[in-house]
Amino acid sequence: MEWKRITFDPNQMGGQACIRGLRIPVATVVRCIAGRMSVPEILRAYPDLEEEDIAEALRYAASLTEDRVIPLGRTGS
């Protein structure tokens, strides 16, 4: 998948996935959503962000969870 708003720069924020070269990591946006902030609240808190930045950050995060895990054996009690 091609990311138009997600950037990676080893010289910025330790190479974390960020929004459009800004010092706003994707993780920060996802954490805001997980904390139940609304899109308008996030945009107020981070005025350099655009609504599409938030949507792409969530798509990027979702793509990271697409790996399949195949249990090797039974776990638990």
CATH topology of domain 6-61: Arc Repressor Mutant, subunit A (1.10.10)
Interval 11-43: pLDDT, tens: 999 999 999 999 999 999 999 999 999 999 999
pLDDT at 68: 74
pLDDT in the model for residue 77: 56
Q: Where are the domains of the chain?
A: 6-61
Residue type, 64: L
Give pLDDT tens digits for 36-74: 999 999 999 999 999 999 999 999 999 998 877 777 776
Residue 75 has pLDDT above 90, yes or no: no
Cβ neighbour number for residue 3 with a 10 Å cutoff? 14
